[in-house]
Amino acid sequence: MHLTSSGPLRVLLLLCTALLIPLFWPGLIDNLLNRNFKIDYHHDWSASLVALHVGSDLLIGLAYTVIAFILALIVYQNRTHLPFDWVVLAFGLFIIVCGFTHVMHVLVRITPVYWLDAYIRAITAVVSIVTACALPPLIPRVGLALRATADLRRKELELQQSLATNQALLEIVQLTERQDDPLEMAQQVLVKFRDALAVDWLGLGVQEGDMARLTTIWRSERADGALLQAELAPVARGSGLTWLAIEQQRPVYIDDYSSHPLSIPLYVQGDLSSIALVPLTDLTAGNTIVMIASKVGNNKGWADWEKQLFDAAQLSVNVAMERRTHLRSLERAALTDALTGLGNRRAFEQDLITVHASARRHQHGFGLMVLDLDGLKTINDYLGHEAGDRLLQTFGEVLNRHTRLDDRCYRLGGDEFAVILSHSRVDSGPVLHGWLRALMADVQRRGFSGADVSAGIAFFPDECAGPSELVRLADERMYAVKTQRRTHRVARPAALEVTPPSAPPDPVS
Task: Judge whether 335 lies within some domain.
Answer: no
pLDDT at 442: 92
Q: Give the amino acid at 344.
A: N
- What CATH number has the domain bearing residue 468? 3.30.70.270
For residue 172, tell me if it sits in a domain: no
- Within this chain, do residues 196 and 230 fall inside the same structural domain, yes or no? yes
Give the separation between CA 308 and CA 63, rounded to whole angstroms: 55
Nearby residues of 424 by Cβ (< 8 Å), 6 or more positions away: 365, 366, 367, 432, 459
Q: Are residues 197 and 124 in the same domain?
A: no
359/320 same-domain check: no
Statement to judge: residues 459 and 412 lie in one domain: yes
Per residue of the chain (509 residues), what is the pLDDT tens digit? 444 456 667 767 777 876 777 777 777 777 777 667 666 656 666 778 778 877 887 887 788 778 777 777 776 677 666 665 566 667 777 777 787 788 887 787 778 887 888 888 888 888 777 777 777 777 777 778 778 888 888 888 778 777 777 777 777 777 777 766 788 888 888 888 887 888 999 999 999 889 999 999 999 998 888 888 888 889 899 888 999 999 998 999 999 999 999 988 888 888 899 999 999 887 666 788 999 999 999 988 998 888 888 888 888 888 887 887 777 778 888 899 989 999 999 999 999 999 999 999 989 999 999 999 987 888 887 788 888 899 999 999 999 999 988 899 999 999 999 999 998 888 887 888 889 999 999 999 988 888 889 999 999 998 998 999 999 999 999 999 888 887 765 444 433 333 333 333 333 32
Are 99 and 233 in a shared domain?
Answer: no
Pairing of the two strands 201-208 and 287-296: antiparallel
Whether residues 26 and 118 fall in one domain: yes
In a domain, 323, yes or no: yes
Is residue 427 domain-shared with residue 325, that is, in the same domain?
no
Q: End of a domain among 330, 362, 390? A: 330
CA angle at residue 239 from 237 to 242, to 5 degrees? 80
Domain end call among 136, 170, 197: 136
Residues 95 and 209 in one domain: no
pLDDT at position 472 is 94
Please indicate, yes or no, whether residues 367 and 482 belong to a single structural domain of this protein.
yes
490, 349: one domain: yes
Task: Determine, yes or no, domain membership for 64.
Answer: yes
Domain presence at residue 146: no
Contact 176, 320 (CB under 8 A): yes
| Pairing, β 272-282 against β 252-254 | antiparallel
Based on the structure, what is the number of domains in the chain? 3
Closest CA to 433 of 372, 368, 499: 499
* Secondary structure (3-state) at 239: coil
Domain boundary among 136, 171, 205: 136
pTM metric for this prediction: 0.54
Q: How does strand 231-236 pair with strand 211-219?
A: antiparallel
3-state SS class at 42:
coil
Q: Domain range for residue 273? A: 182-330
Answer yes or no: is 155 within a domain.
Answer: no
- pLDDT (0 to 100) of residue 217: 92
Residue 145 lies in a domain: no
Instruction: Say which CATH number the domain at 292 has.
Output: 3.30.450.40
Shared domain for 408 and 470, answered yes or no, is: yes
- For residues 477 and 428, membership in a common domain is answered with yes
- 189 burial via Cβ count (<10 Å: 0-12, 13-18, 19+): buried
Give the span between the Cα atoms of 51 and 55, in whole angstroms. Answer: 6
Q: Is residue 506 part of a domain?
A: no
According to the model, what pLDDT value does residue 43 have? 64
